[in-house]
Structure 1
């Protein structure tokens, strides 16, 4: 067990080193979601959404974009490239267990995600004067979100024939996340069944929990009223339940679709 943990940490460090050495990956993973956040805030004006200034509402929902780029796109690219280069096959046949290999990638992605959330919090503090209210709840949402999208990335890498096709494979998921998640608007702004579907997407509970925990207000149901610490946790339970369900679904998909060796030998 201790050996697997050490291997996972070592692989996470290696993943982070490779990301920071790759200019394209660095732009996609770190800069692109923050640039998109800036563009979103430029269109909001002085309106309020669910009782919060529109720019603050958008910025506190940006973790929903970050998880798509820092975790999902990053890991689909990483898993696919390593599989085609036989790195995954060598790792599986060596000392680290399969669980350690997957955990190492997840730890690296979690570090990237949390690093960007910290940068985002600094941005929000300087631009809007707000600071996070419930950091433990934000951390729980981050861990579950990375687990869901890390497992989803593992599944999608199995559907991706090579590293060059990875950018195309991830597009449907990213488009659904950008259009259906409540980053710039509440889910009840979508008509009929679209609002219901949006509420069940795995990115939506991440956004709702992150926003509500950051602002200490009810952005679970959209009232925007201030919540006590206990109310923040109890209000998060439905969203946490959705995320837990997605962990199970994506774990089954990853087990079914993930490949350790190249698709065509």
Structure 2
């Protein structure tokens, strides 16, 4: 990206955040619904999970699930409605490049997601007296997660005929993430087929990186052993690799399916 692209992306991200703040429905779905979901999930486990108090285990993994709302659902709706209203066509024909338009949406979604993760961090610290151990690892998980789900959102918007259908298009992805993401239990503790599905999902390495970075322990399996800072990064390498593969897959799908203009005829 050029310096001009970066400036356009930042301006578009600011516009996206302004629009989210002004739309009550979007604000509820993107900001409040994930927090309500976090409260619901945190009521499930009892006792310790992988050597961690159950509520802490859940809350440190919930940010990965929040990507479904802050990024995927948000951007599928935004891309589809803007395409149908010819906003994307006008943007592409104006000064911002295609990369700047996509990056602007991604930056806006990243800001929303990081704010939600911050709220979860404050929640955990306020009630459980736990502070994040490896913030850079958590931020890397957030950036890669937004990149993956932003690209997948672009691809899914291309398969969505109109804004009304966007609510239906996102449901399969949302349901799979809610059932198979290792939020309440480690992925290895899930039943056989569900564990296989969970390990193939891009949300799983994000959840595990977030939890490991927050707690400073190995939560890429079900052990929960304490790790040094270097050990955390070493343990995260396979998950980082998986997410980079998903970035490539998402980019290919977005390039193939994303549409800048409404369907004709």
* Common fold: TM-score over 0.5: yes
Instruction: Give the CA deviation at 1:189.
Output: 2.0
Helix, strand or coil at the partner of 2:42: helix
The match for 2:10 is 9
Counterpart residue number, 2:44? 43
**Other-structure match for 1:32:** 33
Aligned residue for 2:61, secondary structure, equals coil
Query: Using the alignment, how far apart are the partners of 1:132 and 1:23 within structure 2?
Result: 31
Q: Distance in 1 between matches of 2:4 and 2:201?
A: 36
> What is the distance in 1 between the residues matched to 2:43 and 2:84?
41
Per-residue displacement from partner, 1:28-81 (whole Å, max 9, x unpaired)?
A: 001101101101112323x11000000000000111221000000000000000
Distance across 2 between alignment mates of 1:86 and 1:96: 15
- Distance, in Å, in 2 between the alignment partners of 1:263 and 1:226 is 53
List per-residue Cα deviations over 1:218-238 (Å, max 9, x = no partner): 101221111000000000011
Shift of 1:264: 2.6
| Alpha-carbon distance between aligned partners in 1 of 2:118 and 2:237, rounded to the nearest angstrom | 24
- Where in structure 2 are there 5+ consecutive unaligned residues? none
- Which residue of structure 2 aligns with residue 62 of structure 1? 62
Deviations 1:174-200 (A, max 9, x none): 000000100111111222232122112
- Write the distance in 1 (CA, Å) between the matches of 2:264 and 2:59: 43
Aligned to 1:137: 137
Alignment-derived partner of residue 116 in structure 1: 116
Identify the residue that residue 180 of structure 2 maps to in structure 1: 180
> Residue 256 of structure 1: CA displacement?
0.2
Structure 1: distance between partners of 2:58 and 2:248: 29
The answer to whether residue 147 in structure 2 is matched with residue 147 in structure 1 is: yes
The DSSP-based 3-state class of the residue aligned with 1:161 is coil
- Separation of aligned partners in 1, 2:236 and 2:196: 17
- Could you state the TM-score of these two structures normalised by the residue count of structure 1? 0.98
Gaps of 5+ in 1: none
Deviates more, 1:205-214 or 1:185-194: 185-194
Preserved CA contact (<8 Å) 2:49 2:57: yes
Q: Secondary structure at the match of 2:221?
A: coil
Give the aligned partner of residue 260 of structure 2. Answer: 260
The runs of at least 4 aligned residues of structure 1 exceeding 6 Å deviation read: none
User: Does the residue aligned with 1:219 lie in a helix, a strand or coil?
Assistant: coil
- Give SS of 2:45's match: coil
Alignment partner, residue 165 of structure 1: 165
In structure 1, the residue matched to 2:126 is 126
Q: What CA distance in whole angstroms lies between the structure 1 residues aligned with 2:196 and 2:65? A: 20
Distance, in Å, in 2 between the alignment partners of 1:142 and 1:43 is 25
The TM-score normalised by the length of structure 2 is 0.98
Q: Which residue of 1 aligns with 2:96?
A: 96
Match of 1:226, SS state, is: coil
CA distance in 1 between counterparts of 2:37 and 2:191 reads 25
Please state how far the C-alpha of 1:127 moved relative to its aligned partner.
1.2
Please give the alpha-carbon distance, in whole angstroms, between the structure 2 residues aligned to 1:6 and 1:218.
39
Q: For the residues of structure 2 that align with 1:40 and 1:198, how far apart are their CA atoms?
A: 17
